[in-house]
């Protein structure tokens, strides 16, 4: 029968006590590394063109501060992710109306000028005002 000697008992007890500590450290280490993510600007690569060395453009990488320093980069703390935009709300004046747009002067080339006639379009009241138009009110007919 394999009975541990008295010299082996404390080392086994120590190993059993340290096992949860090591497991907790291994579980926490990746989270700490993720929390310390930085935006790192790595230097460009050196290329030789026609016997003359030239440096390529720098490129950004998200990594840990230690890795960035080892690779010779400069870093800043990575920005926090931005929240998604709020959902679109319906416009209050979504009812289409008839809009009379003003005359426009158009120029083709350096000499030819002519005046375009007024035109009527169907759009919302706020869009008509934004285009410097005039909302037409029709009597007896409903705007569709």
Distance CA 120, CA 99 (A): 5
pLDDT tens over the chain, length 144 residues = 566 565 556 666 666 666 666 666 655 555 544 557 888 889 888 888 888 998 889 888 888 888 888 999 988 776 677 888 878 766 566 788 889 888 876 666 666 666 677 888 888 888 888 888 888 876 555 544
CA–CA gap between residue 72 and residue 59 (Å, rounded):
12
Gap between the Cα atoms of 73 and 123, Å rounded:
54
Per-domain residue ranges of the chain: 27-77, 97-136
């Amino acid at each position: 029968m394999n009975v541990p000697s008295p010299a082996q008992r404390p080392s086994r007890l120590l190993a059993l006590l340290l096992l949860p500590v090591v497991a907790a450290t291994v579980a926490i280490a990746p989270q700490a590394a993720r929390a310390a993510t930085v935006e790192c600007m790595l230097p460009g690569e050196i290329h030789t063109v026609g016997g003359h060395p030239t440096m390529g453009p720098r490129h950004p990488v998200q990594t840990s501060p230690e890795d960035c320093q080892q690779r010779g980069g400069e870093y800043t703390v990575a920005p926090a992710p931005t929240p998604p935009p709020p959902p679109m709300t319906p416009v209050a004046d979504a009812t289409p109306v008839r809009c009379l747009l003003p005359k426009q002067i158009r120029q083709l080339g350096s000499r030819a000028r002519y005046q375009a006639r007024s035109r009527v379009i169907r759009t919302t009241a706020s869009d008509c005002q934004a285009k410097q138009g005039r909302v037409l009110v029709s009597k007896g007919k409903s705007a569709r």
